[in-house]
Chain A
């Protein structure tokens, strides 16, 4: 299994809603990432988990809350988001934090109304 699976593929939420994005990989990778990508821009790193521990938080607002329940799962909890948070949220994984190629999921397209 060489896939990173993200759900949901599309999400529309209001600014007062609470929702979660989910990511799963079964490649035995020990590092997992959340990226945010706006149209015609490169991916922007948000969080890195290494061996299930948060190793990098790129000064992301607290309305985004990551969680790594185990080595195969990564969640991103969303609360009180703003319309400017609308973007494609990409999960990725690899063997070690910022080492080697990244395997990306297909992304979750988030729209905040």
Chain B
């Protein structure tokens, strides 16, 4: 089957660093996405990894290890506005390529 696991909830303090993990088992692999979704709003794209390694984009970084079926999203210098749900999604391979979504990690940033 196809499965993506990420923690349900996390809490962190303003100014700190938090790492949100995602493990996946899919039929083929064609890239991993991280999206941010604030309550009541649409998801917005954060990052895309298709090769192993770290992709850095400002305060956000994303890491991928294909051999381990593992990714993480690293958020630095946390701000209150980072309180949101973070969704890990994997694009599988083949003719019927589609995005497999994790259930999301709800991050609460406290002052």
Contacts and interface: CB of A to CB of B under 8 A. Distances in A.
Interface of A: 40-43, 45, 48, 56, 90, 97-107
B87 interface: yes
B99 A45 contact: yes
A69 B50 CA distance: 34
A102 B103 CA distance: 17
Contact of A98 (B48, B87, B98, B103): B98
Nearest to B48: A101
Contact of B98 (A56, A90, A101): A56
Contact of A107 (B30, B42, B99, B103): B42
Q: How large is the interface on B (under 10, 10 to 19, 20 to 34, 35 or more residues)?
A: 20 to 34
A42 B35 CA distance: 11
| A interface, over-half SS | loop
| B interface, over-half SS | strand
B33 A45 contact: no
5 contacts: A42-B89, A90-B43, A97-B97, A98-B97, A99-B97
Contacts of B26: none
Contact of B42 (A56, A97, A99, A106): A106
A97 B33 CA distance: 15
B48 A43 contact: no
Contacts of A107: 41-42
Nearest to B33: A101
Contacts of B106: 40
A102 B98 contact: no
A90 B35 CA distance: 14
